[in-house]
Amino acid sequence: MFRESRIIYPVKTKTTRPANSRRVLALAAVAAFFALAAALWYVSGLSALAVNNIEVAGADNIPKEEIRQAIEVSIAGRWWSLVPKNNYFAVSAGRTEENIRVKFPELAAVNADKIFPHGLRISASGRKLWGVYCMRPALSAPAAPCAYLDAGGTAYEELLRYNGWLLPVIYGSSVVKPGEIAVPPAMLEFFNQAKTELESLNGYALSFSFSTTTPDEVRLDLAEGFSLRITPSRPISEWLGVLKTVLEKDIGARRAELEYVDLRFGAKVFYKFR
């Protein structure tokens, strides 16, 4: 008789990690996190990394000490009551530039550079005065408030009113804040070109009025006391030629009596005497 043979397979036993080992790893991770946070907090509080050397260059139209003080105020205190705002790594050059632009709209350009470990250099340039912008809801309404205007059409430094004629004046229908674009660059370019071309007819443009609701209708006020109503999208040479013909053939010696000349309708011209 043959005996039955048996094959016995070894049984693999599963090894399980004790539950307390997972707790140990979790506690270690938490401890490492707090240790890192404590280290960062310690480093952030080091006086050697505090931005306390602020240099200001340029910006001749604003006292440099005012800019320096404004920066010091903006980086005073702590973030989340933990990290000092004047820490080198917490100070943002971009945020500093934006804060200065908002605080001092008289500046045209601002650049901030951090210098490790505790320096901040500010380079700024002021706006160049071009004229004055005044808000006027209607042509018959008084103009107020006003602001100085730079060559790019940006308003800055508010004025309660402006009554002089030494600077060109742009009247618009919208209230603008310092630092905002009050006049589109295309409108300024049109005014500059029209002012230059009018000199060939012995005309001197003092002010320019436009409305955001009807941008294709503008008014030029001349030093002689009358105004021109024109379309800025039309080539200047066209309406200037029409104006020359009207002044020579129709107006003649009564030019000083004019109230306005309407040149918005091509060769069809309307004018009125005072």
**Does the CA dihedral 76-82-86-90 come out positive or negative?**
negative
Position with higher pLDDT, 213 vs 265: 265
Say if residue 229's pLDDT is above 70. Answer: yes
SS3 202: coil
**Does the CA dihedral 263-269-273-274 come out positive or negative?**
negative
pLDDT in tens, 191-217: 999 999 999 999 999 999 988 777 788
Segments in the chain forming alpha helices (H): 19-44, 64-74, 93-103, 185-198, 236-246
Position with higher pLDDT, 76 vs 3: 76
SS3 129: strand
In this predicted structure, what is the pLDDT of residue 231?
Answer: 93
* Cis amide prior to 215 (ω within 30 degrees): no
Position with higher pLDDT, 81 vs 218: 218
Give the whole-number percent of the chain exceeding pLDDT 70.
Answer: 82
Strand-by-strand arrangement of the 155-159 sheet? 155-159, 146-150, 129-135, 169-172, 205-210, 218-222, 227-230, 258-265, 268-273
pTM of the model: 0.72
Residue 78: band (very low, low, confident or very high) from pLDDT cuts 50, 70, 90:
confident
Query: CA–CA separation, 52 vs 56, rounded Å?
Result: 13
In this predicted structure, what is the pLDDT of residue 166?
Answer: 82
Query: CA–CA separation, 57 vs 259, rounded Å?
Result: 50
Residue 63: band (very low, low, confident or very high) from pLDDT cuts 50, 70, 90:
very high
Average the pLDDT over 102-123 and give the result: 94
Query: CA–CA separation, 149 vs 184, rounded Å?
Result: 12
Residue 79: band (very low, low, confident or very high) from pLDDT cuts 50, 70, 90:
confident
- Taking residue 175's Cβ as centre, other Cβ atoms within 10 Å add up to 13
In this predicted structure, what is the pLDDT of residue 5?
Answer: 55
Position with higher pLDDT, 160 vs 198: 198
Q: Where in 34-167 does DSSP place strands (E)?
A: 53-58, 78-79, 83-84, 107-115, 119-126, 129-135, 146-150, 155-159
Average the pLDDT over 246-265 and give the result: 95
Average the pLDDT over 91-120 and give the result: 94
In this predicted structure, what is the pLDDT of residue 1?
Answer: 47
Say if residue 226's pLDDT is above 90. Answer: yes
Give the whole-number percent of the chain exceeding pLDDT 90.
Answer: 58
Query: CA–CA separation, 31 vs 215, rounded Å?
Result: 66
In this predicted structure, what is the pLDDT of residue 16?
Answer: 54
Q: Are 67 and 124 in contact (CB under 8 A)?
A: yes
Spell out the domains of the chain, with CATH numbers in brackets: 47-126 (3.10.20.310), 129-273 (3.40.50.11690)
pLDDT in tens, 163-177: 777 899 999 888 889
- Taking residue 86's Cβ as centre, other Cβ atoms within 10 Å add up to 23
For the chain, the average pLDDT equals 85
In this predicted structure, what is the pLDDT of residue 100?
Answer: 96
Length of the chain: 274
Lowest mean pLDDT among 9-13, 84-88, 192-196: 9-13
Q: Are 79 and 95 in contact (CB under 8 A)?
A: no
In this predicted structure, what is the pLDDT of residue 256?
Answer: 92
Say if residue 18's pLDDT is above 60. Answer: no
Query: CA–CA separation, 199 vs 197, rounded Å?
Result: 5
Lowest mean pLDDT among 6-15, 62-71, 161-170: 6-15
